[in-house]
Amino acid sequence: MSVPATLQSEMLQDETVRADAAAQPKPPEIAKPPAEAVERIVRMALAEDAPWGDITAQTFVAEEARLQAQLVAREAGVLCGSDVFTLAMHLAGDGSSKGDGSKGDGISVRFEVADGAHFAAGATLATVRGPARAILQAERVALNLVQRLCGIATLTAAYVRETEGTRARITDTRKTTPGLRVLERYAVRCGGGHNHRFSLSDAAMVKDNHLAALAAEDAAALTRALRDARSRLPHTVHFEVEVDRLSQIEPVLAAGVDTVLLDNFSLDDLRRGVRRVAGRARVEASGGVRLERIREIAATGVDLISVGALTHSARALDLGLDIGTRD
């Protein structure tokens, strides 16, 4: 009996995570998102969840009550979001704790696993101590964010593993959750992936709809239109053009582009495209990219594989906050 493609992807991802968790390599240094951007997101999420406070906790939990809780992994994965989780807890409390495990009137959070590290099912990722009301109020927001980010990091790691031994890099796209891009892009980095342009302001990327708007009727006209457009760009701006057929590659290269994006190409055409570009620009593959096809795509010789699914289709990882003894 054949296994559905979606189930195959989940099975392959689970096997990858288990293998990586057993290896336990030291996570690399990963550039973190700007602290002010993270705080803005967390404050917004807390205000959305408890605009006038947590009625349940304020009514049924004594003000002086304190708790200890553990963030526990229900399944294997890659950690991302320790700072986000910690900040949610601190902001729900009085903000005085620094997250170094020290005692105080506020909440303390101590992580046992660093962002970018693999962990096994059942692992205790962090311990939280502090006022019961604050911990209970922050619980859902903290979990929502860290589960989402761990899901992206874990899925990214599965894709990256499939490119081992090739030159290809796994990159994200702009298909992110509105308002959460800075966090989701960080999660991709935690999973070993790379970031594409952050926004429309960062690079010039001419796609099929732009080409249609140029109304270039033949190869020579396409080259002229792209060259004219490039002449108006600052010299520091990266210039990428998407093509959907092999015949567009030479006219696009003649315009002096930095990257050629081969969109929805077959494996054979990807190989042909790489040979035609012949090192004159970077080659990116995109469109129809699934986990079970990554190794084949990477083997064609492309430099980049952009995967929208990293952020638009990653499921939240199953993590829980287990309440232990009173602190």
Residues annotated catalytic, as ranges:
140, 175, 207, 242, 263
Would you state the structure tokens that stand for residue 50, as one six-digit string?
């408890």
Q: Which of 248, 266, 267 is nearest to 257 (CA)?
A: 248
Would you state the structure tokens that stand for residue 63, as one six-digit string?
């003000």
Q: If DSSP codes are grouped into helix, strand and coil, which group holds residue 211?
A: helix
Would you state the structure tokens that stand for residue 303, as one six-digit string?
């430099």
Longest distance between any two alpha carbons in the chain, whole Å: 76
Which residues, other chains included, contact 111 with Cβ-Cβ below 8 Å and sequence gap of 6+? 79, 82, 86, 125, 126
CA angle 322, 310, 205 (to 5 degrees): 145
Alpha carbons 146 and 79: distance in angstroms, whole number: 8
Which residues, other chains included, contact 283 with Cβ-Cβ below 8 Å and sequence gap of 6+? 259, 260, 262, 273, 274, 277, 301, 302, 303, 304
Q: Which of 4, 300, 10, 299 is nearest to 151 (CA)?
A: 10
Amino acid at position 243, single letter: V
Beta bridge partners of 71: 126, 321
Alpha carbons 299 and 310: distance in angstroms, whole number: 20
Angle between helices 181-190 and 35-49 (to 10 degrees): 120
